[in-house]
Amino acid sequence: MTAALRYLTSEQKKQFEEQGYLIVEGLFREEEIREIEDTFEEISHQTIPGYFEPKLDGGDSDPLSRYPRVMHPHRFNNTAMKYMLHQPVMEVLADLYGEEALAAQSMFYYKPPGSRGQALHQDNFYLKVEPGNCIAAWTAIDPAHEENGSLLVVPNTQDEEIVCPELADAKESFTTHFVKPPKDKKAMPVIMKRGDCLFFNGNLIHGSYRNKTKDQFRRSFICHYANESASKISGFYRPLFRANGESIDLELNGDGGPCGVTFDNAYPH
C-alpha cells in the first residue's frame, strides 16, 4: 500500500517520476528567503577557509574569483543548517522518496553578472548514493531566467546511466565535467521565481547558462539529499542529517567529491 503524500499532489509526484524534476512554487516564504539572502550577503564579505575563499580585493577579471560558491555552509552557519532541514523541503523529499530523506550537502551560488555557467552533469556521479539516489533541492533566491543564467535540465534523463564525463568548455563552464545528452533529448531552461524550489533526480542531466546580464546576480541555495535506506555515500558528504538535526553516518563510497570540480581546482577532491 502506497503511503499517503504529505505535501505533493499525485500529479506532482507523477511528473517527478516521469520527467525527473519538479518545481514547487513558493515553497519558501518571502521572510525565509530574506533571511537566507541576508545571511549569505554577510558571508560574502568574509573568508572561511575550506568553505568560502573569495578574492576580496576583486582579484582577476573572473567574477567568480570574488564570488565563488559557498560549500557546506551548514557546517559553520546555523541559518544554512536550518534551511537545509526546512520542514516543507523535507516533506516534499519524503513524498518523492517514499521514505524519509537525509540531508547531505548545502551550497550557495552567488552567480554574479558575467559569470560562467556550469556544464551539463549528473549529481550522483559525485554523491554516489547507494542503494537509491540523491535528490537536489535548488531554491531560487533571485528570479532565474535565461539571461541571468537559469538552470538547464534535460527532461526524461533520470533513468540514464551515470556516465563518465567529457571535458567541459572552460570559457563557458567554471567546472571541468560535461555530460552529453542523448541524441533525442535536449536541455531546456527552468524559469523560476524567488522562493520557488526545483527538485531533481541525481541521474538527471542538468547544468546552467552563463549570466549574460550586467547588473543581476542569480543567487541560489542548493542542497542535496539521500534516501534513508541508502547505506553508502561519497566521503565528501558525511555526516548526513535527519530532519530533527540528528547526525548520521553512512558507509564510505569511494571516489565522488564536490559537485563539479572547478578548473582552477579551488575545491579539490
Confidence of residue 256 (pLDDT cuts 50, 70, 90): confident
Q: How far is the C-alpha of 177 from the C-alpha of 236, rounded, in Å?
A: 18
Q: Does residue 267 have a pLDDT over 90? A: no
**Residue type present at position 59:** G
Region 232-260 average pLDDT: 90
Give the pLDDT of residue 262.
62
Write down the pLDDT at residue 255: 76
The pLDDT assigned to 260 comes to: 56
Reported confidence tier of residue 269, pLDDT bands at 50, 70, 90 = very low
Which pLDDT belongs to residue 257? Answer: 64
Segment holding 195, helix H or strand E: none
Cα(143)–Cα(94) distance, rounded to whole angstroms? 26
Nearest to 20 by CA among 153, 132, 131: 153
pLDDT value of residue 153: 98
- Residues 159-171 pLDDT 10s: 999 999 999 999 9
Alpha helix (H) ranges present in the chain? Answer: 10-19, 30-43, 63-66, 78-84, 87-97, 124-127
Confidence of residue 222 (pLDDT cuts 50, 70, 90): very high
SS3 label, residue 151: strand
Q: What is the pLDDT of residues 104-161, one digit of tens each?
A: 999 999 999 999 999 999 999 999 999 999 999 999 999 999 999 999 999 999 999 9
CA distance 175 to 225: 21
Sign of the CA dihedral 247, 52, 90, 151?
Answer: negative
pLDDT at 59 over 70: no
Burial tier of 93 (Cβ tally within 10 Å: 0-12, 13-18, 19+): buried
pLDDT > 90? residue 1 = no
How much of the chain exceeds pLDDT 90, in percent? 91
Question: Residue 4: its pLDDT value, please?
Answer: 87
Which SS3 state, helix, strand or coil, does residue 188 take?
strand
Share above pLDDT 70 across residues of the chain, in percent, rounded to a whole number: 94
Whole-angstrom distance, CA of residue 110 vs CA of residue 103: 21
pLDDT of residue 254: 84
Domains parsed from the chain with CATH numbers: 70-250 (2.60.120.620)
Buried residues in 191-218 as b, exposed as e (16+ CB within 10 A) = ebebbbbbbbbbbbbbbbbbbeeeebbb
- The predicted model scores a pTM of 0.94
pLDDT of the residue at 258: 61
Q: Reply yes or no on whether the pLDDT at 266 is more than 50.
A: no
Distance from first CA to last CA of the chain, Å, rounded? 42
- Cell numbers at residue 72, please? 557546506
Confidence tier at 26 by pLDDT (50, 70, 90): very high
Average pLDDT (80-88) is 98
- The cell for 233 is 555515500
Note whether 141 and 29 are within 8 A (CB). Answer: no
Helix axes 87-97, 10-19, angle to 10 degrees: 70
